Amino acid sequence: MTIQNIIAGRDFPVISCTSDLPVREAVALLADKRIGAMPVLDSKGAVLGLFSERDVIRCLKRNGNDTLDITVADAMTSPAITIPPASTVNEALALMTHRRVRHLPVVEAGRIVHFVSIGDLVKYKIDAIEGEARAMRDYIRSS
């Protein structure tokens, strides 16, 4: 199964921001949308970085109360670790594990096409395992 298969049926937009957005507004966007991270994009849809809850924590340690007044450019993780749509779910999970990240922008031809989280990939794996178990039970019952 590829990342393309995972994102194919999605009909919701990727929540993103620009690098000039104040951290205060980016934090509000994360909270309002109930998400843990979002890609930071330029005007052409290229991924400049990733802004996450972890970035906020790091900035609070480094900048204290001034964190909310800096821009996302000064807080984001850059460059972002990205993945092409043709990658397999296992490749994506291995990359996330190796690089210790929980979110991956899906990039094709230099532009973002979607965004996946470790939760998306784990859900796919659980669904696949449950489907296999159901098929095995059905096979055993019919024998």
Domain ranges (residues) in the chain: 3-142
CA distance 132 to 125: 11
**Alpha-carbon distance values, 122 to 2, 84, 119, 128, 141 (Å):** 13, 18, 5, 10, 29
Per-residue pLDDT tens over the stretch 11-67: 889 999 999 999 999 999 999 999 999 999 999 999 999 999 999 999 999 999 999
Q: What's the rounded mean pLDDT across residues 118-127?
A: 92
Is the confidence at residue 112, as pLDDT, over 80? yes
Fold of 3-142: CBS-domain (3.10.580)
Share of the chain above pLDDT 90, in %: 83
Task: Output the pLDDT for position 96.
Answer: 96
pLDDT in the model for residue 11: 87
pLDDT of amino acid 142: 86
- Using DSSP, state whether 87 is helix, strand or coil: coil
Show the tokens assigned to 34. 């109930």
Predicted confidence at residue 139, as pLDDT, reads 86
| CB-based contact 37:50 (threshold 8 Å) | yes
Residue 143 pLDDT: 76
